A and B are shown apart, each in its own frame.
Chain A
Amino acid sequence: DIVMTQSPDSLAVSLGERATINCKSSQSVLYSSNNKDCLAWYQQRPGQPPKVLIYWATTRASGVPDRFSGSGSGTDFTLTISSLQAEDVAVYYCQQYYDTPYAFGQGTKLEI
């Protein structure tokens, strides 16, 4: 099974500053049909269901502000929030969707 490991577990960032969350997969999640990594990032605000932010490791989902960006390849991935807003307080998860079980990272709690 693929294991996803996020760091840090929690992060406090000032408004307007940059936040960076890392995610490492225990093996490659490269989808050979399109040469893209099967890696998604989700945001879960308090009391809300998770919402996809990024898929294919770097593609922003529809309606997601451009301050959110995904980078990385192979087994190392990063979610960056370029200028933190108050509404970005949430738990962020990476997930591999290459194969079952579709493992999530343990989550990173982002606070102001």
Chain B
Amino acid sequence: EVQLVETGGGLVQPGGSLRLSCAASGFIFGNYWMHWVRRDPGKGLVWVSRINSDGTSTAYADSVKGRFTISRDNTKNTLYLQMNSLRVEDTAVYYCAKRAGLEGKNWFDPWGQGTLVTVSS
């Protein structure tokens, strides 16, 4: 069974940093692109970032570019999101999600349970 478990969320002050982790199991982690998506309070889902299977290519939403860094360790089957210069508007539940397959199968399946990040003074 494919499982994704996020950790690392919590309360942080504006301007602070946090690193999220997503432990993957049940599939060959190094074969799949991975994503971070957040659900803003009172709003909807917002795609945050993605990384290709070997970590050599990344992409970011404009709202986090230059502040967030996605990375992965395929030897540990773990995805990361380093979040710096956090803002109040980064408050959200953060999910990691697996790309469904190869060759255009870019939908997200499955998703982790999420970890809550609260940015507040």
Contacts and interface: CB of A to CB of B under 8 A. Distances in A.
A103 interface: yes
A73 to B, nearest CB: 16
Interface residues of A, number: 26
A52 B107 contact: yes
B106 A97 contact: yes
A85 B60 CA distance: 37
A102 B50 CA distance: 10
Interface of A is mostly: loop
Given A101-B61, A102-B35, A102-B50, A49 B111 contact: yes
A40 B114 CA distance: 20
Contact of A51 (B37, B43, B110): B110
A33 B19 CA distance: 37
B100 A104 contact: no
A55 B35 contact: no
B109 interface: yes
A33 B103 contact: yes
B43 A106 contact: yes
A102 B114 contact: no
Nearest to B58: A100
B22 to A, nearest CB: 12
A52 B98 CA distance: 12
B32 to A, nearest CB: 14
A52 B109 CA distance: 6
Contacts of A44: 39, 45
13 contacts: A33-B104, A34-B104, A44-B39, A49-B111, A50-B37, A51-B111, A61-B109, A93-B45, A101-B61, A104-B44, A104-B47, A107-B43, A107-B45
Given A33-B103, A40-B108, A106-B44, 11 more contacts: A44-B45, A50-B95, A50-B111, A51-B110, A52-B100, A55-B100, A95-B107, A97-B106, A97-B107, A98-B106, A102-B47
